[in-house]
Amino acid sequence: MNKYLVIAVDGPAASGKGTIAARLAAYYGLPHLDTGLLYRAVGLAVLDAGQDLGDAVAAEAAARSLDLAGLSDNPRLTERHAGEAASRVASHPGVRAALLTLQQDFAAQPGGAVLDGRDIGTVIAPNAAAKLYVTATPEVRAERRWRQLTARGQDIAFNDMLEDIRRRDERDSGRDSAPMVQADDAVLLDTTDLGIEAAFDAARRIVEAARVRARV
């Protein structure tokens, strides 16, 4: 067996994919990249520059000048409007192209890596040894995100959060460039009725089965 392991974790917003990916990375001792943070950072950069999220040229320029330093420590990236901005700029093919190499280089580092997003198993790391597609019902995902945001003091009604989730799902799965779809060889993990420990255990078993098949 070789020691190069890439784990691709895809799925819609608030499905639990980020938490599962982080836990898998810690378990296997691999670096982890939440690719959603990249798009959130691009979206905020466009807004901070006073430009429109629908401006493909401005969004691509922001993506090409993106600085990864401190991304995971920026609290603004977890706010509601950052998620909406990410979904908007991610629909621009130029933005996705600008961030492609960065993500592929992360996946190609010695030993492997864990990446989570919406097109990891289909575009970024199509040859990943283990692929998971993590999902849950829109209502459960909206409740998770609503609890998360209100716990941080953000004022949002549950119905507005549910509408946000449904709108993002439609935009992410309907875009022409790298739409959010389950890879043909990805294993579906529905976390609707699972707590984090049960979800992580299920994910770990999926990865272990994939490692046996791939001899990793």
Q: What is the pLDDT of residue 42?
A: 97
Task: Please indicate whether residue 83 or residue 141 has the higher confidence score (pLDDT).
Answer: 141
Local confidence band at 2 (pLDDT 50, 70, 90 cut-offs): low
pLDDT at 176: 84
In percent, the amount of the chain with pLDDT more than 70 equals 99
Q: Count the alpha carbons within 13 Å of 173 in the hemisphere toward its beta carbon.
A: 13
DSSP string, the chain: ----EEEEEE-STTSSHHHHHHHHHHHHT--EEEHHHHHHHHHHHHHHTT--TT-HHHHHHHHHT---TTGGG-GGGGSHHHHHHHHHHTT-HHHHHHHHHHHHHHHTSTTEEEEEESSIIIII-TT-SEEEEEE--HHHHHHHHHHHHHHTT----HHHHHHHHHHHHHHHHH-SSS-----TTPEEEE-TT--HHHHHHHHHHHHHHHHHHHT-
- Give tens-digit pLDDT for 39-56: 999 999 999 999 999 999
Name the phi and psi angles at 184, rounded to 5.
Answer: -55, -30
What is the predicted pLDDT for the residue at 175?
85
Enter the pTM of the model.
0.92
> What is the set of domains in the chain, with CATH numbers?
5-214 (3.40.50.300)
